[in-house]
Amino acid sequence: MSKGFVYVLHNASMPLLVKIGRTTRSSQQRCNELWQTGVPTPFQIAMEVFSPDCCELEAIMHKEFGEVRVTPAREFFRASMGEVCERLQELHRDQVERLVSEYLPRHTIVPTDLKVDESHLEDLASVIGDHPENVASAMGIMDVHEVYPALCRWRDMAGVDTLDEGGL
């Protein structure tokens, strides 16, 4: 098991591609190294997660997106950045939940607060190409018609089919 980061990178010079990789150092260091390889514009981090087993998580991501891999020897994929980031987040959570269930069998991960995690805002802002403060401000003016589709997607992902008190 190798702790480290699994990341999704994008590059303005390759708008239809994302890079899914891993590092035991920092994702930013890896971006800087890739910038030295002669690409016209620097890579940007769309998302990164700290994984208890970055080799395993990267391999699962590569397998999941294998059909859209540009070439077998490279880590570039012709896929939607949003889809790749969403899947990385899901697989990372699954990986951590497996560890919790193995090492703490009577425990479960339960979200307890109703605030937006700052790292989620930063990830979203990075994908959009804007500042987290602007994304938070935009979220503050969203109406029910803008929020409801995302809520429905979340319910599908979470397997929630009924509303709790106070729902729509």
Q: Is the pTM of this model over 0.85?
A: no
The side-by-side arrangement of strands in the sheet containing 43-51 is: 43-51, 4-11, 18-23, 76-77
Query: 116 and 100 in one domain?
Result: no
Query: 115 and 38 in one domain?
Result: no
Section 37-42 average pLDDT: 81
* pLDDT class of 76 with cuts at 50, 70, 90: very high
pLDDT of 141 strictly over 70: yes
List of residues 6+ apart from 7 with CB closer than 8 A:
19, 20, 21, 22, 23, 27, 30, 45, 46, 47, 48, 49
Query: 81 and 25 in one domain?
Result: yes
| Nearest residue to 96 via CA among 108, 78, 83, 87 | 108
Section 20-49 average pLDDT: 88
Query: 124 and 48 in one domain?
Result: no
Query: 3 and 79 in one domain?
Result: yes
* pLDDT class of 165 with cuts at 50, 70, 90: very low
Query: 42 and 106 in one domain?
Result: yes
Section 9-31 average pLDDT: 92
Which amino acid, 20? I
Amino acid 87: pLDDT: 95
Section 67-76 average pLDDT: 93
Query: 117 and 101 in one domain?
Result: no
Residue finishing a domain among 60, 92, 110:
110
> 3 by DSSP, 3-state: which?
coil
Tell me how many domains the chain contains. Answer: 2
User: Which domain does 63 fall in, by range?
Assistant: 1-110
